[in-house]
């Protein structure tokens, strides 16, 4: 069965600190997709990144970077030089591919990040 674990429930940092959000997943499929979403206080989920299981290259987008390691089933997200606007709940999610997989997007329970000025 698919499962996504975000062990940290809440983190508080001071502006300009770096912070890493952990995500560990379980799946029996060899083809799958991983996602990160941001949920600011307004409530809407904002898509950040999608990664398929065949692409283990790390990605950097501005202050955001993602580290995907199949060997440890992890897809961690790092925010460099955090800002107050980064304060939000962050969700990691998993979607299996069609063959033998399901339509479902499985979410972790989310991690609340508070960045203090």
Q: Which residues bind other proteins (CB under 8 A)?
A: 4, 9, 33, 35, 37, 42-47, 50, 91, 95-98, 101, 103-105, 107-110
Collapsed DSSP state (helix, strand, coil) of residue 86: helix
Nearest distance in Å: CB 91, other proteins: 6
Residue among 86 and 96 whose Cβ is closer to other proteins: 96
Residue among 64 and 107 whose Cβ is closer to other proteins: 107
DSSP-derived secondary structure letter, 32: E
Alpha carbons 42 and 105: distance in angstroms, whole number: 22
**Number of H-type helices and E-type strands within the chain:** 0, 12
Nearest distance in Å: CB 110, other proteins: 6
């Amino acid at each position: 069965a698919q499962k996504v674990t975000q062990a940290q429930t809440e983190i508080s940092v001071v502006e300009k600190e770096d912070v890493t959000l952990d995500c560990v997943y379980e799946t029996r499929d060899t083809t799958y997709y991983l996602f990160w979403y941001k949920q600011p206080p307004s409530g809407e989920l904002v898509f950040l990144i999608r990664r398929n299981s065949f692409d283990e290259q790390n990605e950097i987008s501005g202050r955001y970077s993602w580290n995907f390691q199949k060997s440890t089933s992890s897809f961690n997200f790092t925010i460099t030089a955090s800002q107050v606007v980064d304060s939000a709940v962050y969700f990691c999610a998993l979607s299996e591919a069609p063959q033998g997989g399901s339509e479902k997007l499985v979410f972790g329970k989310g991690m609340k990040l508070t960045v203090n000025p």
